[in-house]
Structure 1
Amino acid sequence: MFPTQDPDPPASWPKPHRSVTRVLSVAGFTLLTLITAVVVVSAVTTGEIAQALFFTVGTVMFAHLVGLTAISMRHPAPTTYQRSVGRTDQGEGGLDFPYSRWAYYWLSSVLAGVVLIAAALAVEFGAAGSWVMVVILAAIALFLAWFLLAMLRSAPGRVVVTPTGIYHRTLAFEHFVPWEAVIEVSAQEGQIPRIIVEAMPSTGTRERTYLGRLGAGVEGLPFLVVRAHWLGANARPAYLALKHYFLHPDERTGLAEIDDATPR
């Protein structure tokens, strides 16, 4: 849809470069999954239902940590981009590249597991009178529960390419960069492949974060940074679209025609 004569991005992009740390993480989480599963079976056999339920949650959480780490190491399956219209925070329409729902599933499941485990441990420590641990664990559970609900409420994240600029919504951060501020668009390889939109500070730039400097995408400001694994199969089409409209500013007006042709 967005042809390019140069090998940009490289044919392997956005396949992450594997690291020893990630491979060991997958192996470690797999081992923990098996260990907690054995504990569950043992607890059921001895009739300790409460312990079995606790470790069942742990088993599911570790299994999803395996999945979450594994998807960050794989090359997204190639797909044909189906053109759709997305909207920015101000309602402007443009080409839409939503985040992968599978990426949301794995992270949401892990966060939910941590919340449940922290809450259960808080109850246990409360019964034992260890109130300092109760406060710490309750704070962790409440914060992660709030983040999970906020993340799901705004899901899915997306990149929207509009006539006036580029809009990116992450898990807890929104960023809009006008085209006149953009000086380069590039595909970064490495352990965490990224789309980098190099931009100068501009009065037309909009930012909104829910986690301060901790939000994903905030680390690159004033650049607009998109982690490719969140886009999944949409990563390559999104990059090609961004590069195309960056190099061909006269064609950006056509994005408004796409929006006008879409029923609201």
Structure 2
Amino acid sequence: MGADGMPAGLGDREAPWRVDGVGPRWSPLRLLALLFFVGMLLCALGIAVSAVGDRDGSGVVLGVAGAVLFAHLLGFLAVVWLPRRRSARHVTSARTPDGTVGVRFGYSRWAYYWMTALLVLCLAIGAAVVLAAAAQGGTAGRVGAVGLAVLLGLTGWFLVTVLRVGAGAVTVSPAGIAHRGLVHLHVVPWYAVHGVGAGVRAGTPVIVVDAAPSPDTVVRRYTGWFGTADARELPRLVVRTLWLATDPATVLAALAFYHAHPELRGELATPEAPRRIAEGRARG
């Protein structure tokens, strides 16, 4: 356990987790990037307003499309990069993939919205570029259009899979820990878990469940090799905290608590566990 009562880090290095929640730290590069995209958003709005005055229909469409794209990009980056407070009481009971009852920490609906909306916008703009490039003719244009079309196809497949799989969650039951990510499912039984801790991946705080391979471990990759980095650390179970709707420090503490107290895991199938976690008694 760390000095602040939280589990020690099992990741690349000790995570810069704050007591009031988990989130990325401010950095000059991220601030500059956000300011740049704010400037691009203002430029797009300026183009749209100017085009309205000039009665330029194509300019209006271009300006509005750019403004919508940059607004959603800023929204997604705010979720990914900026610290945000999340409730420790966002805890519910739900069934795990194997049918047992457990405590569910769901993914944020806002995070899903910004990501899916941004991907839809990119697909729409990319499709328009492909059509324009193909219409212009020429070998280079057609080759570029084909390459971009392949990339758009993969992106569309990923998006459809995310929507088909449904909202992600971390579910803790008497049997073990289940993590349904964007495009994968990873279930680890308690007897295979060696430790629970905080880590950092590519500047993003994560929860790391250090686990050994076991015959009861379940891994499903719904997009095969074309997936997220969370599923590439097997047998470790990795949860990127930016997706969680619940305060990630609460999720980390709950996982560590029930790992350290096997005699209490039976209550995970009862209303007592959500109450304990919401009241802050699942620590230490």
- TM-score band, normalised by shorter chain: 0.7 to 0.9
- Cα distance between partner residues in 2 of 1:48 and 1:140: 32
Question: More displaced, 99-108 or 89-98?
Answer: 89-98
Q: Scaled by the length of structure 1, what TM-score is found?
A: 0.87
8 Å contact from structure 1 (residues 39, 55) kept in 2: yes
**Residue type of the alignment partner of 1:249:** P
User: Are 1:159 and 2:170 an aligned pair?
Assistant: yes
Deviation at 1:213, TM superposition (A): 6.1
Picking from 145, 154, 159, the partner of 1:143 is 154
Match in the other structure for 2:6: 8
Aligned residue runs from structure 1 range 229-240, under 5 A: 229-240=242-253
Picking from 171, 182, 196, the partner of 1:185 is 196
- Superimposed CA distance per residue, residues 185-214 of structure 1 (whole angstroms, 9 cap, x where no aligned partner): 012368311111111111111111124164
Picking from 235, 238, 257, the partner of 1:244 is 257
**Residue type of the alignment partner of 1:205:** T
Unaligned runs of 5+ in 1: 260-264
Question: More displaced, 184-193 or 112-121?
Answer: 184-193
Please provide the CA RMSD for this pair. 2.4
Aligned residue runs from structure 1 range 103-118, under 5 A: 103-118=111-126
Closer, same or farther: CA 234–172 of 1 in aligned 2, 3 Å? same
User: Are 1:27 and 2:57 an aligned pair?
Assistant: no
8 Å contact from structure 2 (residues 123, 152) kept in 1: yes
Query: Among the aligned pairs, what percent are the same residue?
Result: 35
**Residue type of the alignment partner of 2:250:** P
Aligned residue runs from structure 1 range 1-264, under 5 A: 7-8=5-6, 10-129=18-137, 130-188=141-199, 191-209=203-221, 210-212=223-225, 214-258=227-271
Closer, same or farther: CA 182–258 of 1 in aligned 2, 3 Å? same
- Cα distance between partner residues in 2 of 1:140 and 1:44: 34
- Cα distance between partner residues in 2 of 1:101 and 1:132: 38
Match in the other structure for 2:11: none
Match in the other structure for 2:282: none
Deviation at 1:163, TM superposition (A): 0.8
Deviation at 1:20, TM superposition (A): 2.9
- Superimposed CA distance per residue, residues 16-51 of structure 1 (whole angstroms, 9 cap, x where no aligned partner): 222333222212211211222222223333333234
- Cα distance between partner residues in 2 of 1:218 and 1:171: 10
Unaligned runs of 5+ in 2: 8-17, 273-284
Deviation at 1:255, TM superposition (A): 1.8
Paired residue total: 256
Closer, same or farther: CA 54–148 of 1 in aligned 2, 3 Å? farther
Match in the other structure for 1:262: none
Deviation at 1:248, TM superposition (A): 0.4
8 Å contact from structure 2 (residues 91, 246) kept in 1: no
Closer, same or farther: CA 242–153 of 1 in aligned 2, 3 Å? same
Closer, same or farther: CA 218–21 of 1 in aligned 2, 3 Å? farther
Closer, same or farther: CA 155–20 of 1 in aligned 2, 3 Å? farther
